Amino acid sequence: MFSLNNQLELRKIAISSLITCIYLPSIVTVISYKGLLYSLGNGSTFYVLLLIYIAELLKSFYLNSNVVSKKIKSKMQARDVINSGIFLLGVTFCFFVGMILFGAPMLDSHEETLMISALLTLLTVFPLVAHAGVESAMQLLFGVKHFSRDTIIEMLVNNALLTVCGAWLGAVVIPLDWNTPWQKWPIPCYLGAIGGHLFSNVLTILKISLMSAAEKNPVLNFVVSVLNKFNLSK
Amino acid sequence: MLSWLQHRWTGLWLLMLALGALTLFLYGFFPLKYHSGKFAHMDDLPNFIDGIGIDGQEVYNAGEHSVVLMVIDGLRYDFATEEYMPFLGELLKNKSACIYVSVAEPPTVTMPRIKSPERKKEKAQWRRTINFWRDIFASAMMTGSISTFADVALNFGAPAVRGDSVLRVAASRGRHSVMYGDDTWLRLFPGLWAEHDGTTSFYVTDYTEVDYNVTRHLDRILSPDEDLKPIFDFLVLHYLGLDHIGHLEGARSPKIKPKLIEMDEVVKKLYTAMRQWSRTGVLIVCGDHGMRDAGGHGGASPAEVLVPMVVIKTDDGFRCPHPNGPGPTVGQVDIAPTVAWLLRAPPPGDSAGRVLPALMPADVRQHLYLLHVLASHNAKQGLPTDTEFFKQFQRAEKQFAQYLATGQQSAAKIAKEFYDESLDAMSKYLTETTAEFDLFAINFATVLLYILAAAASCATLYSLQTEIRKPSITHHQPSKVSLLLAFAIMFIIFSIILVISCFITETKSSFCSFGPLWSIAFFAAALVLTIAYFVIKTGVEKVKDMTALKELNAIDYLLIYGTLFHSWSFFGTSFIEEEHMTWYFYWNTLMFFVLIRTVVVIVTYLSKRWSGATETQEKPELEERMSSVGVSILPQWVLLIALHRYLRTMNQTGDRWLFLPDTADWLNAPENSFYLQAHLLIGTLATLGICLWNVRHMNNYMYIHSILTILATICILSYRIASESLETPFSDIKSWDTITIVNLFWAILIIQALYEIIIYAGIFKSCGCDPGTKKFGYSKPKVKSEDYYYEPAEEPWNVDSVKLNLVRSLSHIMLNDLMLIVILLMRPHNVIMVPSVFVTSVMISKCLDHKLLDGRAGKGKEVADLIGQSLVHVWIGMVFFFYQGNSNSLASVDLGSGYVGLREYSPWRVALRMGLHAYAGPALAGAALFCRLALVSDTWQRYIQSVWRVCNIYALHRIYAVAVYCVVAVTFRHHLFVWSVFSPKLLYDFVATVFTVQALATIAQIVLLTNLTRWVASLRF
Ligand SMILES: [Zn+2]
Ligand SMILES: [Zn+2]
């Protein structure tokens, strides 16, 4: 559970999660409405990734608006941007190679694999890099440095983990004999990643709502205490 | 009975009992056809009808006929209409032909519609379709009896139909049979064709050439000789194009209609040619099964099961006796007695059908005699005599006798009706008893399997305790008499419960028939229940310490829950057909987890090492562990993931993507023979390297083991050259006999094992040639007086350490021999699987080490390590089982592996080799695990305890998987896919259980052999 001492951070996290819960389903709904769901893997749906990039960038600006001082803002120079771009490209390449190693088609569908690699990078690593910088993101990725009660980073890491889990579990539906068009690679993993990301954000909103309501309700307060005891908030 | 739980082979005994229970389940689930083994002769024709004499040879005479059987594969019932086949429809309209509805008897396998992408369709080949499922249809038509699923499965390696057939009886009467079409007929009935031209059903995309190969023979074969008589008596034409179109594009394809018009043209050609003959011709046009609208066949829907059977006779006086429209229902088994009658041959020995009504003779006496022949023939096939249809047959016989004596037409009419009724009922009874489930046996076996799974759970949990408290002397132990009394009482109680349940359910099961043999099975089942009850009771009482399970980490939980939920996934048919996807997903998840954990551990270690010495002092054990394993573990793991990714492309398997091209197809193409041979050489030489690496654990006196291993590999390479899988400049090797090479190979392996045991027994020492090795040298330890108190049976020599050395050596000999044998049996492109199994086992054993991942040590860690290692090796075996191209379909069984190095068909040897080839992955993984157990144990007691725990885990896993799957099979026994999806998986599970019993028995044999050799050696000292 998040600590209650920082109401400002909690409100930012709540609004950020709400924005995610609004724009991602909107994108998916528009895609489904337009009948583009089955071409999500193609390069023609690159604008979807662009929309997600812009949304995540705006969210990052919002999350950093009051907390970050002017000094850190001036540090966001071109050199840092180039380093972030290189690092994100490297992460995309790692996702690409990892997906091929774990079962994606090897000789063809490279465009589709690249699309989902880019999506996973945008949903998992890009918010961390945009929020905390390249060095901190690398340290967080490898578990060297624990996020010491930084609720925003905790939320971003949870989002990343559940996004990867969603993409991983999306692969479960590929071998089933439903014969639906959206069982083609990489659409189930693409939607699974988006679903995992949404799920994480919904969990965040639920946790914050529960904590807010627990202050007024003794029964919910007891539930929150029990959850804290069992360490389920982690 | 605590001693049963403490016994180290309890898991093996429970697994054997589970195998017995599974056999009972299979008996109930798969009924076997009654085989009389009787070959029919004309002397078998009855000459007396209820005491009245009749000349059977003279009456049983249909005249001279030539029969043409035209089988159009996949001909659905609605295809035989005027819309699709106009000529046939015209014949039916003016009653020159009769049409019947024939019911294709299940089981017919699912041959699914090909779902590959459009651009890959032309490249797709039906590589694995041996299509032995046409065996069921062809043998039903020729023998007149329905083959069950078990009959086909048990006849797997045997090429030919063993029972009597129309072709055999016709050949014995001097008739000429000719076949053009699917080569299934040549395999099933070898040597019975005067002339043949079989086409392989290899390419499903070929639906024109495969039929042209049949039609091009027609002009020649149909032209008569100078007397206007055809040159054959029986002609079989099997057209496959329609079936192939159905598989490719479905029944609604635009190619269906031209194909049916093409078939109609063939019927017209046949009819026109037959009208020129001086002899009467009979043409039977039928399908073997129908076709779904989506394409394919294999279920029990009417579109797949109902097929037309059109009978055309060129006799001018022939008129179809039935009204227009759909004719009566007949069986495919009715073709055999019909053709036998037309060819003046007796009905085949196991025939259960009847002559088609349109082809029955007009003469009343002949008609009744033919009915009597068929009815009495069916009655001899073990029918119960207290049934209504048998009494009807006896009444019909009396009426027939009265007609023969008096000539009354009314008696003839009555006899005909009675014969018809009894024949229908007899056929129905014979086919139903062939395809009936024994529900009591099935349900009881399932309950038994669950009880045995509970007993195995108790035994396993007991063995996983870290501190097994020895019974103190003050504790009261029940006497042996009271234990035997309790056992006897429970045995009697369970027997009474079983007897009561038999009478309550009023089952007709043979299990409750209390015959001499079944009583043994009955009381054996009660005994099994009693044993399991006592194991469960003792286990519940004695299992207390479960601290070991607290040491499990996330990867262990992934392994445990993955294994548990995998069994329950079989409630979906997709997860049976695509079981490999489940395993690939689990394996990828495991590799992903291990990759993340390894990355985290290495990065932590490197960062602490670079940041400063103060932080490295926080975790000194971490540096120690990392130095033992090395930072190189990470690139090695990534390379292993890449290797598995490549192996996954080697063979496409399952159901949906089976027809896509894979690496094996690419390698087996003629232009890529260089790469195929490179694969073969790399796999074989890598295995040789691994075997030579394993030789250091053996007693390599004078490098005998190295030499023998190299010689065995040379034999394998020579066999590959002689069987033309490998090209070489030494052309004289190609002429060598493959049987001799394989026999030499077996001799080398046997010599290797015997040599090791002889060394250990000390033969060389007594002869004076001291090996001079430290591995098997006996020496007297220092005597400690305080040891005598609680070790009364202490050995005078360091026998335990020598036994451990021998066990290590024998385990590695077993692994080496197994790898070499599997290399010999494998297809050339699959040879690289064998070194890959070993490499995967070694790597994952390193990475799953709890000390590396968690840093703490203890006895609980050891137990958790064993659980993880055992389960991960089960996973490795299953993953490689599917990498090899196996699936849960019988079509993926490689029949060629059974005949490596064999001249003639020997059922047990062929079955053993096919099984070993199919289960090479699990066998190699299990052998690698037991070698690792022998390596990491530093004392004999620890080795025995590790083997005890691992055997229990393996047995529990196998019994659990089988028990859950039996529930699945029972739940879906009336499902559409029961014979095409659920039943093959049951057979695979049975074979897997047999192989697990074999594997654990092999380990038990190694331990027994070690103790036996120790006893022999002790006689010398
Ligand atoms: Zn067929
Ligand atoms: Zn077919």
Categorize the per-residue pLDDT at B785 as very low, low, confident or very high, splitting at 50, 70 and 90.
very low
Residue ranges of the alpha helices (H) in B630-737?
633-648, 663-668, 673-694, 704-722
B52-53 and B48-49 strand pairing: antiparallel
Nearest CA distance, B612 vs chain A (angstrom): 14
Residues B840/B644, Cβ–Cβ less than 8 Å: yes
CA distance A91 to B226: 85
Interface with B, mutate which of A97, A101, A138, A173 (most B CBs under 10 A): A101
pLDDT of residue A62: 83
Contact residues on chain B for A102, CB-CB shorter than 8 A: 588, 591-592, 641, 645
Domain that residue B128 falls in: 63-360
Residues in chain A with pLDDT values less than 70: 1-6, 66-77, 141-149, 229-234
Mean pLDDT score across all residues of chain B: 79
Question: Is B601 part of a structural domain of the chain?
Answer: yes
Residue B323 burial (C-beta neighbours within 10 Å; 0-12, 13-18, 19+): exposed
CB contact under 8 A, A143 and B600: yes
Q: What is the CA radius of gyration of chain B?
A: 34
Contact residues on chain A for B654, CB-CB shorter than 8 A: 175
Question: Is B986 part of a structural domain of the chain?
Answer: no
Kindly state the tokens that stand for B985.
Answer: 């998986």
Question: Is A65 part of a structural domain of the chain?
Answer: yes
Kindly state the tokens that stand for B448.
Answer: 């038994």
Q: Ligand 1 centroid to B104 CA: how many Å?
A: 10
pLDDT of residue B806: 83
pLDDT of residue B639: 92
Kindly state the tokens that stand for B293.
Answer: 């609208």
B313, β-bridge pairs? B282
B427, containing H or E segment: helix B409-434
Contact residues on chain A for B648, CB-CB shorter than 8 A: 103
Nearest CA distance, B205 vs chain A (angstrom): 22
Question: Is A234 part of a structural domain of the chain?
Answer: no
What three-state secondary structure class fits B103?
A: strand
Categorize the per-residue pLDDT at B434 as very low, low, confident or very high, splitting at 50, 70 and 90.
low
Which of B574, B599, B604 faces A175 most closely, judged by CB atoms? B574
CA distance B101 to B99: 7
pLDDT of residue B961: 94
Task: Give the residue carrying structure tokens 């025939």.
Answer: B351
Weakest-pLDDT range from A220-229, B53-62, B549-558, B691-700? A220-229
Q: Ligand 2 centroid to B759 CA: how many Å?
A: 59
Kindly state the tokens that stand for B752.
Answer: 């290797």
What would the pLDDT profile of B660-682 be if each residue is shown by its tens digit? 677 777 887 778 888 888 999 99
Query: How many Cβ atoms sit within 10 Å of the Cβ of residue B262?
Result: 17
What would the pLDDT profile of B167-204 be if each residue is shown by its tens digit? 888 888 888 888 888 777 777 788 788 877 766 655 55
Contact residues on chain A for B641, CB-CB shorter than 8 A: 101-102
Contact residues on chain B for A113, CB-CB shorter than 8 A: none
Residues ≥6 apart with Cβ < 8 Å to B461:
B539, B543, B546
CB contact under 8 A, A106 and B603: no
pLDDT of residue B135: 60
Residues A47/A72, Cβ–Cβ less than 8 Å: no
Interface residue A230 vs chain B (CB under 8 A)? no
CA distance B202 to A4: 71
Q: Which ligand is located closest to the Cα atom of residue B287?
A: 1
B264, containing H or E segment: helix B256-275
Categorize the per-residue pLDDT at B942 as very low, low, confident or very high, splitting at 50, 70 and 90.
confident
CA distance B525 to B518: 10
Interface residue A103 vs chain B (CB under 8 A)? yes
Residues B932/B869, Cβ–Cβ less than 8 Å: yes
Nearest CA distance, B854 vs chain A (angstrom): 15
Nearest CA distance, B993 vs chain A (angstrom): 27
Question: Is B1005 part of a structural domain of the chain?
Answer: no
Higher pLDDT, B479 or B470: B479
Question: Is B465 part of a structural domain of the chain?
Answer: no
Question: Is B469 part of a structural domain of the chain?
Answer: no
Residues B184/B138, Cβ–Cβ less than 8 Å: yes
Q: Residue B158: which of B893, B905, B909 has the closest Cα?
A: B905
Residues B985/B29, Cβ–Cβ less than 8 Å: no
CA distance A30 to B801: 72
What three-state secondary structure class fits B296?
A: strand
What is the number of domains present in chain B? 2
Q: What is the CA radius of gyration of chain A?
A: 19
**Can you list the pairs that B57-63 forms with residues at least 24 positions away whose Cβ atoms lie under 8 Å?**
B59/B365, B59/B366, B59/B369, B60/B341, B60/B344, B60/B346, B60/B366, B60/B369, B60/B370, B60/B373, B61/B344, B61/B366, B62/B341, B62/B342, B62/B343, B62/B344, B62/B361, B63/B280
Q: Ligand 1 centroid to B739 CA: how many Å?
A: 36
CB contact under 8 A, B574 and A176: yes
pLDDT of residue B849: 74
What would the pLDDT profile of B200-249 be if each residue is shown by its tens digit? 655 555 677 778 888 888 888 888 787 778 888 899 898 888 887 877 77
Q: Is the pLDDT of residue B855 over 70?
A: no
Q: Is the pLDDT of residue B473 over 50?
A: no
Residues B890/B109, Cβ–Cβ less than 8 Å: yes
Higher pLDDT, B775 or B638: B638
Nearest CA distance, B609 vs chain A (angstrom): 12
Query: How many Cβ atoms sit within 10 Å of the Cβ of residue B640?
Result: 21
Domain that residue A186 falls in: 7-229
Question: Is B806 part of a structural domain of the chain?
Answer: yes
What is the number of domains present in chain A? 1
Domain end point (choices B874, B904, B936): B936
CB contact under 8 A, A175 and B600: no
Q: Which ligand is located closest to the Cα atom of residue B297?
A: 2
Q: Tell me the Ramachandran region of residue B26: left when phi exceeds 0, alpha when psi lies from -120 to 50, beta otherwise.
A: alpha
Q: Residue B250: which of B201, B206, B294 has the closest Cα?
A: B294
Q: Residue B891: which of B124, B154, B129, B114 has the closest Cα?
A: B129
CA distance B398 to B378: 17
B111-112 and B296-297 strand pairing: antiparallel
Q: In Å, what is the CA distance from B72 to each residue of A97, A113, B38, B225, B353?
A: 50, 45, 31, 28, 21
Question: Is A2 part of a structural domain of the chain?
Answer: no
Q: CA-nearest residue of chain B to A184? A: B117
Nearest CA distance, A105 vs chain B (angstrom): 9
Q: CA-nearest residue of chain A to B590? A: A102
What would the pLDDT profile of B503-534 be if each residue is shown by its tens digit? 888 777 777 777 788 888 889 999 999 989 98
| DSSP codes joined into one string, B866-904 | HHHHHHHHHHHHHHHHHHTT--SSGGG--GGGGGTT-SS
Interface residue A108 vs chain B (CB under 8 A)? no
Q: Residue B913: which of B893, B927, B899, B892 has the closest Cα?
A: B899
Question: Is A221 part of a structural domain of the chain?
Answer: yes
Count of A–B CB contacts within 8 Å? 46
What would the pLDDT profile of B71-80 be if each residue is shown by its tens digit? 898 888 888 8
pLDDT of residue A74: 53
Q: Ligand 1 centroid to A131 CA: how many Å?
A: 64
Nearest CA distance, B549 vs chain A (angstrom): 19
The pLDDT of B736-750, averaged and rounded, is 86
Q: Is the pLDDT of residue B999 over 60?
A: yes
Interface residue A47 vs chain B (CB under 8 A)? no
Weakest-pLDDT range from B456-470, B690-704, B740-754, B931-945? B456-470
Domain end point (choices B914, B936, B958): B936
Residues B548/B464, Cβ–Cβ less than 8 Å: yes
The pLDDT of B978-986, averaged and rounded, is 77
CA B625 to chain centre: 45
Residue ranges of the alpha helices (H) in chain A?
7-34, 46-63, 70-75, 78-101, 110-132, 134-141, 151-170, 187-214, 218-230
B847, containing H or E segment: helix B833-847
Q: Residue B525: which of B31, B23, B32, B6 has the closest Cα?
A: B23
What would the pLDDT profile of B878-903 be if each residue is shown by its tens digit? 999 999 888 887 666 666 676 677 76
Q: List the CATH number of the domain containing B224.
A: 3.40.720.10
Peptide bond into A186 cis (omega under 30): yes
B573, containing H or E segment: helix B573-577
The interface predicted TM-score of the complex, written ipTM, equals: 0.86
Categorize the per-residue pLDDT at B326 as very low, low, confident or very high, splitting at 50, 70 and 90.
confident
Kindly state the tokens that stand for A46.
Answer: 């690159």
Categorize the per-residue pLDDT at B587 as very low, low, confident or very high, splitting at 50, 70 and 90.
very high
Q: Is the pLDDT of residue B748 over 70?
A: yes
Q: Ligand 2 centroid to B146 CA: how many Å?
A: 19
Question: Is B712 part of a structural domain of the chain?
Answer: no
Contact residues on chain B for A175, CB-CB shorter than 8 A: 574, 578, 581, 654, 656
Q: Which ligand is located closest to the Cα atom of residue B110?
A: 2
What would the pLDDT profile of B275-312 be if each residue is shown by its tens digit? 888 888 899 998 888 887 766 666 667 777 788 999 99
Domain end point (choices B328, B360, B392): B360
CA distance B400 to B916: 58
